[in-house]
Structure 1
C-alpha cells in the first residue's frame, strides 16, 4: 500500500468516526451538511464500523439496514459480510389465519453493501454497492421510527428504572421525557421502547422463576446489609409456602417500638392470592412503623405459628407485651403458643362494624345498637360492663343471640374496660396494619409477582423513614406555643414530640371542663372525685372519675386509665395535680417512648434496598452525572463557555471510544443449596431449585372485606355497569 493510499484511508476513517460519534445523540439532528455515500473501495477497521457508517447513511436517506449474510473463509475466520435494506427478501405471512394477515415491510429490495477482508484481515473493504430501492423511502422526520434508529441512552434507562420503582406509569415517564426533549421529534426512541425496556428489566430481575427470584433478592439484600433477615418455608415438592422478611432498620426499630404491635393478614394483592401479613408498631411521633412482613399460603394455626416464630427469631426472642389482631381463632391459638405472655386483644372497630349484620333483624335494632355502643365505650371498669351488659340482654330479650353470647364469653379480648389496664400505645384497632395496606395499594395489584411485591417493602420503608425524618426535623426546628402558664406544659413541650405534646395539651385544655367535688384523705392516699362536663351532640352529661393520689411517691391513678392505655396523663389527673399545687410532672409519668430529646440507635441504620444506584456502576454513573450537571449549569448562560465544554467532552468521548468504553464489572454469585445464611433460612429440601407457589384459596374474609386495589375497583365498577345495563334491558 502506498503512502498516498494510507493517507486517504486515514482521512476516510476520520470522517467516518466523526460522523459516528454524533449518531447516538438523544436529539434527532437531521440537518446534516453533507450526505456521505458509501463507495466501492472504502475501507473500515471492523465490520461494526461499516455497519455504523451505513446505518448513519440509511438514517439520512430514510431506510433501515440489517445484517443480511456473512461467510467464513477456509480458516474459519469471517471473510465476507453483507448489510442490506431491511425490506430485502420476499414478503411472507406468519399467520395461520388467511383472513387475519399481519402487515409486512418486505419488498425484496436489492439495496445493499458487501465488504470483504484484505491485507491479512487488517481492513474491511467495500467491494459492491446497490443504491436503488424498490420502495418509497422515509423522510428524515419519519426515519426516527425505524428500529435501528431508535436508541435509548443510559441516563434515559436510568430515569425509567427509577420512575418504575417509584410506581410512576411508563406513559407518564415517557411524557416527561418528551417535554424535556422539546417534542417527540427530538427523541430517538418511542413509548413502545420504554415499555419494552421496563419489561426486560423486570424479567431480568425475576430470573428463572418467581420463587427463586425472591430468594435471590433476599440474598442480595444480605450482601448489602448482613442484618437483613428472611425465612422461607417450602413444602415436600420444594414449592414455596410461606415467606417472612425484615429489614435491618425494622429489626433495630423493634427494640424501641416492639412492645405493642398490630398484626393483620387480610390483604390479598399478588397473583398467587397469598395473604400479606404485616407486623406494625408505633414510633415516638405516633406514626406507623413496619416491623416485618410475611406472605403466607394458609391461614391455619400451623402457618401462623411458623410466621410468629420467624418474627420472634428475627427480633432475637423479644416478644411483644401486647398484640392487636382481628377476630380469628387460628391466629388466637398461634399467639397463645408463640407469645404466651403477651396480652392479646381484638380489633374493636371490626367487631362493632358487624352490629348491622348480626342485629338488623330485631325490631328495636336502632335502640339496641345505641345501647350496646354506650355499654362498650362508656364502661370504665369490668364490673360496670358486666352489670350493664346483663341488664341490656334481659331488657331486649337477647338471651338466644349466639353471637352476643360468644362476644361476652370472650370479652377480655375486646371490651375496653377489660383491656385498658396495660399500655397499648393508644391503639384499639388494627388501623395501623390497614394504613400499610393503603400504602402498598398504590404499588401492587392482583397480577403482581412475588418478587415485585417483596421489592415494595423497601419502598414502604423509604416512605415511612422520610416521614419520620421530616417529623424529627419539625420537632427540632419548631414548637407549639403554650396555652397556659403551668410549668408542666412547658415540661412536656420540651421533652415530647410535637404530636404527643398536642395530645397532652388537649388534655390540659380539657381540664377546664373538670371540677373536683369531693376528697377523702388518709395517712398515705387521697381520693378525689373529678366530675367532667361531657358534651354529646347538643346535650351535656356530667361523668364522675375517681382519682387516687399517693403523697409519698407521687403515684397517681385515674379510673379512666388513659395513662395506662395511651401513656398520656388525662385531664382528671391534671386537675388533681394542679389542685395539689404540683406543677411539674413526676418523672415516672414522662415516658421514654414519646420523648424527642433522646438519640435512638435505629435511626442510624439505613434502609436495605437492591437498586442500581447502590451498585458500583450506579454510584459511578450518579457521581459523573452530578458533576456534569454542575458544569452545564455554569456554562449554559454563555455560548463560548458552552462550545468550550462541548469541545472538551467531544475529545473525551473520542478517547473513551478508543479505549473501548468498557469498565470493570463485578458480579457476585449466590449458592442457595445450603439453605442458610447468617440471618436467612430456607426450610425444606430444594436442591437449589424452588418452585413458585400454587394459587391460594383463602378462607372467608371475616370479619370484614379487605381493601381492594385501584385496578380491582375499576374492574368491579365496569362489571357493575354491565350488570345494570343487562337488568335494564330485561
Structure 2
C-alpha cells in the first residue's frame, strides 16, 4: 500500500534517479493492482540518453492499424486503456513524473499478475539450479517441475516453463561459443540464407569456415528461376530427383551434367540489371532497387516486381532495360490477347438487362436457338452429327474469310436432305401434324397470381394507352 499511496498522493513531480528505478517502482505498483506494464513511447537526445519516456498498461493499443486482417481467427485482447505515467529528464539528469493516469477500462487481476510478462523473473538462485540440472541431463520440463515442487505450487513461482526453456537454450549457446574460442578452432561449415551482408561477415570472422547456402531457400526459388521454360514441370521433377536422391558427390555431379544436357541449359546466361527507382513513401523519398534479368536469345525480361505475372502489364523497369538494349519492339508474349482491340469478346453477345435492344445480341440469341434445334435433331445419329459439323466448319471458314452466304450456297449445303424434303413435300409422306392440345395440371395461366411489379407495369401501360387514345381522339375521352 505504501507505493500505491505514494503514487496517489503525488500524481506529478515525483523524482527518480534512473529509468530502471522508475520501471521498478511502476511494475511493483502494477503487480499489486493486477495489470502489466510496457514502454509505450520514448525519445532520445543527441547523446543517446532518454529525453522522456512513457510506461503504460500492457492492455493499451500502441496504434490503430489501418489495415486489419479480417480473416484472422486470433482476437485481440487490447483495449483503449489510458493508464500510464510519463517521465521527463531534468537538468540534474534525474527523471520527474509529468503525467499520471490511474484509471483502467478493463478488469484487474492482482492474483494473476505474476504470470504477466513484465512480472516474470528468474532470480540468480533459480538460474543456478537450472544450469546444474541441465548439466545432469534433466529434461527442461522436469527441470521446471522440480522448481515448482520446491516453491510449493505454480502460484508461488515468478516464471513459467517457456522462460526456463529460453534461459536453458541461451545458456547452451553461450557454452558452445565459449568452447569454440577456447579450442581455437573454426567451425567447419555454416548454413545460412543467401544474404550478402552475412556472407561478408562470415568471411571476416570465420575465414576458414565453409559458408553454404540453405537447400530449402535454393529449392524455393525454382519457380522464379525456371518458370519461363515450357517444360518447367519436367525440369523441376528432374532437378528435385538429382538434389534429393543423390547419395554422394559423384552421383550428384553426374546427374547435374545429365540434367543440363537433356534440357539444353548450357548457354542460359541472363545480363542482370539493377534498376533504381525514386519512390515517395509518405513524406520521405528513398531509392528502391529492382532486379531485371534479360535473356537476349529469347528477348525475355523478368523483373522481381512481378507486375506482368500479376496484372499482365510489362513493368517500367523491364521496359527501361529493353530501351537500354536498343530493342525496337517487345516480344509477342508480352501482348496478351485481352489487351488487343481486335479480340472478339463473347460475353458482349450475351443477353442482359442493359443490352436488351442490341441488334447483335438479338441476332446471336436467335441463331443459338436455331442451332440448338439442329443439334438436338443431329445428335441421334452419327451420320447426321458428322454432316452438321462439316457444314458448320464450312460456314465458319466462309464467314471468317469475309464471304457472304447466299441462298444458293445455303441450298447446296445439304443436297441429300434437300432432295428428301422435296420428295416428301411432293408426295405428302411423313407429314408432321400438330400435337393434340391437352389441359395442364393446376390452375390455368389466366388465373395465375400476378406479382406487385407486374401490376404496376400493367397499370403504367394502360395509362399510356389511354393517353395516346385521348391525344388521337379527344371526344372518346
TM-score range for the pair, normalised by the shorter chain length: 0.3 to 0.5
TM-score, normalized by length of structure 2? 0.37
Select the structure of larger CA radius of gyration: 2
If the length of structure 1 is used for normalisation, what is the TM-score? Answer: 0.25
